[in-house]
Amino acid sequence: MPMKAGGMRSPARYAWFVLAMLVMSYGFNFMDRYLFIISMESIRKDLHLTDTQLGIISGFAFAAFYSVAGVFVARWADRGNRALMIPVALTVWSALTGACGLARNFLQLLLVRVGVGVAESAGSPPALSMLSDLFPPQRRATAFALYSSGIYLGMALGFVIGGWVGDHYGWRWSFVTGAVPGMLFALLMRLTVREPARGAADDTHVERQAYGVQDTLRYLARRPTFLVYMLGSALFVFVGTAMDYWGPLFMIRVHGMNAASVGLWTGALGATVGITGAFISGVLSDRLAGYDLRWYLAVSIGGIALEVPATLLFLYGPAHTAVLWYCVSLFFDSFSMPATLAITHRIMPIRLRALASAIMLLGYNLIGVSGCNFVIGFFSDLWAGLGATRSLQYAMTLTQVAVLIGAACTLYAVSRLPRDFPQHFPARGG
């Protein structure tokens, strides 16, 4: 591979190609979710659902099963062929996305969304593990940031397709339309992406065997920092999910915008600022982590600290500023994920990376997505006597309090990291 100034090896062109393919795959992973988000009000009216039921479908039914299944998938990813797992899973979740359009009641939609969640759980853990084998440690936050930009690519596709198709042909056709490109892309991915060698981008020794369950539990129990900052970042996701999942519904229900308009503006602008924020976060994290790995967590805290006031301005500001504050909120919300995943892949053994990623995603989705969606749906229904506008507004505001606990957990992890992972924090002589 060519050398850059300072002796750093740059990734081969093929690594960038694989990254692009994984970004697209991740985009299709999230397109399905944003199809649901932009269609929630139409689904609620058509199937006669409550906000609590919407929260269960978008949260527990999807995120909880996605998270739990991801842990088992990660065990397979630490041993098996990751390049095969992803396109197979992509085919299955795309087909189930189309099946969402056939649901006729709450239970049917709930069960299909469970299936989608289980299938999509086979996307990220193997993808993140592959990227760690393709990109050196000094560039992983940037690689993970570009990978996480697939979220915003999925946002653009889901919001634009769901908004436009939903307004013209109904929400059911939005899901059917969204299923086709994912299945076609899965075939292309299977034909062009090959399995990378484990630990190819690292200078450290690669373990011959993946960690057993007892070995994994013992390793993590001796290093509680990982679980603490995982909890902190999960609570940051909890805070951001309020805007991510319910922001478009807020604009439709509270400000009276139509789904096509919300889908176009939030899809195009939200995706642009989200991708930009994730990229800036990744580059900034990689630069600062060259001095001290704890900067990864500091970047995460900084982003969420700026996200919360933007969300409150969105909730309590005038209608004509809603899209602006929605975009500002997404920009800073995108800082957390690349940084926390990057430090995880820096400090964890190679054969534990997929599982560590799955545990991170377990927290993100079980606590962050599932928890936030249930809380907002439950309190929105509980406070329904205040009116649809106020109840949703107050329920979304309530979730922002979680930032305090998340920051406390992350700051504790910052102070303890050198004790749990001393090999990454060499003593500085005076």
Tell me the DSSP string of 289-341. Answer: HTT-TTHHHHHHHHHHHHHHHHHHHHHHS-GGGHHHHHHHHHHHHTTHHHHHH
d(CA 168, CA 156): 18
CATH classification code of 14-198+219-417: 1.20.1250.20
Q: How far apart are CA 326 and CA 358, in angstroms?
A: 29
Q: Name the token pair of 424.
A: 């990454």
Q: State the burial class of residue 424 (Cβ atoms within 10 Å of its Cβ: 0-12, 13-18, 19+).
A: middle
Query: Could you give the C-alpha distances from 293 to 19, 148, 222, 426, in angstroms and in order?
Result: 23, 20, 19, 11
Query: What is the residue-level pLDDT of the chain in tens, covering all 430 positions?
Result: 333 433 334 447 888 999 999 999 999 988 988 898 888 888 988 999 888 888 888 777 777 777 777 777 777 777 778 899 999 999 999 999 999 999 999 999 999 998 888 888 888 888 888 888 888 877 777 888 888 888 888 888 888 888 889 888 999 999 999 999 999 999 999 999 998 887 666 655 555 555 565 677 777 778 888 889 889 999 999 999 999 889 988 998 888 888 778 877 877 888 888 889 888 988 888 888 888 888 889 998 999 999 999 999 999 999 899 989 999 999 999 888 888 888 887 887 776 776 777 778 788 888 888 889 889 989 999 998 888 788 999 999 999 999 999 999 999 998 888 887 877 776 554 3
For a pLDDT cut of 70, what percent of the chain falls above it?
Answer: 90
Task: Write out the H or E segment, with its range, that includes residue 9.
Answer: none
| Spatial contact of 30 and 150, defined as CB atoms under 8 Å apart | yes
| Interatomic CA distance for residues 375 and 196, integer angstroms | 41
Q: What angle do CA 23, 206, 355 make, to 5 degrees?
A: 50
The pTM for the full model equals 0.74
pLDDT tens digit sequence for 248-298: 889 988 888 887 788 778 778 888 888 898 889 888 888 888 888 888 899
Closest CA to 154 of 24, 242, 49, 266: 24
CA distance 363 to 231: 6
Name the residue with tokens 């393709």. Answer: 134
The ranges assigned to domains in the chain are 14-198+219-417
* 3-class state of residue 191 by DSSP: helix
Q: Nearest Cα to 408, choosing from 398, 399, 416?
A: 416
C-alpha gyration radius of the chain: 21
Is 135 strand, coil or helix? coil
Assigned token pair, 44 = 């609620």
Q: Please count the other Cβ atoms lying within 10 Å of the Cβ belonging to residue 340.
A: 28
Q: What is the DSSP code (8-state) at residue 3?
A: B
- The CA-based angle 277-278-284, given to 5 degrees, is 85
Query: Of all helices (H) and strands (E), which one includes residue 49?
Result: none
Q: Identify any residues that bridge with 9 across adjacent strands, giving them in sequence order.
A: 3
Residues 267, 155: contact at Cβ < 8 Å?
yes
Angle, alpha carbons 150-396-58 (nearest 5°):
50
